[in-house]
A and B are shown apart, each in its own frame.
Chain A
Amino acid sequence: MSSFMSASWADEVKDRINSWPDAERRATKLDDFWDWIEMVKPFVVGRLALSVRDMPPDCEADTLCLDLESGSVVTATVCNRADTEAEAVFLMAGSYTDWMALVDGYDVGKMVMYRKLMLEKGDTLQFFTAAFYWTELLAAIQSVPTAASDGKLIKV
């Protein structure tokens, strides 16, 4: 199982986002919802950086970089925030505790609504034009089995 914020985890996240939603997830919502996401995907272009503000020491990286083209992930890498912030169109960041809660199943809508993840770079109106694309992207990340940086199992 890949560790959170590792290169192998980023690869799994990429595959999961690009095949999202699975049949089980799709069935939980109206087709209208998925049609809306398909409608906004062509406008989802550029780098999204997802960062941990207080990553424990000795970790490989603190930021997941997703390069998006029409809503599909072209490359997914992990790096340090300082190395990617300038290139990112949007950068969202949260505490390590909140990231662990997310990968453990905490509601993705609450992650946004309660600002557990904050938009620290990027135009807010532009970001919300694709709001539900982003929440589903978080749900896809959440569905990837992950171990914490100390090796503790978080999500199976």
Chain B
Amino acid sequence: MTITEERLDQVELQDLNGLAKTDIDDVLDYVHVPTAKIPPYLELYDRYLRQRWNVNDLDFTQDRIDWTERMNDDSRNSFLSIASGFHHGERQVEAELAPLFFGIPEDYKVFLTSHLEDEARHTVFFDRFYRDVVGLEGDGIMDVLDGSWGYIQETFVGPFGLLAYLTDDLRRDPYNKHLQMKYATTYMIWIEGVLALSVMKITLNYARDFKVLPAYYTGFTATCRDEARHVQGGMRFVRQLLDEDPNYVTDIHDTLRTLLTMGAARSGYVYYEPLGWSEERVQALFMDQLHKKLAMVGVSLPADLENMLSMVKPTLAGG
């Protein structure tokens, strides 16, 4: 289904109060535009200025009541298994962005400042949620992250460790366009474009359908709208690199080959059922999201990668 102009405007223009009533599916549709319609970087920056929200405007009082009185142990555990991936993922994508600044187009640098600020705000959003709703304590951001680490599967380290190490590669050689492409494939296509946008839907649909966690729903829907800008900026950058040299597509494929190899591993089950989902449905979302991102940049998957994609275990969250 293609999002209508009216619904797109609704997603585009809402403030936090409006986002509380916005359907997450509309926000997810809002991400995907054809290559020719991906907004220029400065237009994305302008959107940021209009869409920026204040994490301190959220009141988690009702969420705390829902968490302790209306959700059961199974729901809380499933929720934390998924949300903790974002708790850690947002920190990772905040901490790993800086080296990209050096070697990118000037307009993208301006937009990337907003991207970085968004990720810091998302990190604080999850910090507030884990403190005010889940009840974790700690002196700083890392204390609370350590508190939710137990919900993270070993396989989480695959894509996020790869991002950390590619960040270090890029720090050492920031103008290397092969490295930039590998980094953008890991960060903007896979982590933000596939993992995050797939798994966001699960906890948000749960909160919407069961009418719980209103501040979480509002803040995370706003987060999702922010991610739409990041993904569009990233896809524009990927497309620019491909326009410079179509051979960079090999870097996309090689990076996906590593990500999909890791994606076939899982160390434990995530029980989606208490939140109204199944593993098969999440896996289908992963496949759909990757195909949509690649369509945005005009890249197809060779047969071996299509086959690997069908074997990905959807146990990871994103950032």
Contacts and interface: CB of A to CB of B under 8 A. Distances in A.
B254 A36 contact: no
A33 B158 CA distance: 13
Contacts of B162: 124-125, 128, 131
A128 B267 contact: no
A136 B264 CA distance: 16
B268 A29 contact: yes
Interface residues of A, number: 24
Contacts of A110: 149
Nearest to B268: A30
Interface in A114-133: 114-115, 118-119, 124-129, 131-132
Given A30-B266, A30-B268, A127 B165 contact: yes
Interface in B179-213: 182
B289 interface: no
Interface string A28-52: 0110110010001000000000000
Interface in A82-124: 107, 109-110, 112-115, 118-119, 124
B270 to A, nearest CB: 11
A8 interface: no
B92 interface: yes
Contacts of B149: 107, 110
A131 B158 contact: yes
A125 B267 contact: no
A131 to B, nearest CB: 5
Contacts of A113: 92, 156-157, 160-161, 164
A112 B164 contact: yes
Contact of A109 (B156, B165, B254, B266): B156
A124 B166 contact: yes
Nearest to A133: B265
Interface of A: 29-30, 32-33, 36, 40, 107, 109-110, 112-115, 118-119, 124-129, 131-132, 135
Given A124-B182, A129-B262, 9 more contacts: A29-B154, A107-B149, A109-B157, A113-B157, A115-B165, A118-B168, A126-B258, A131-B162, A135-B157
10 contacts: A30-B268, A33-B154, A36-B265, A40-B261, A109-B156, A110-B149, A112-B165, A125-B162, A126-B258, A128-B262
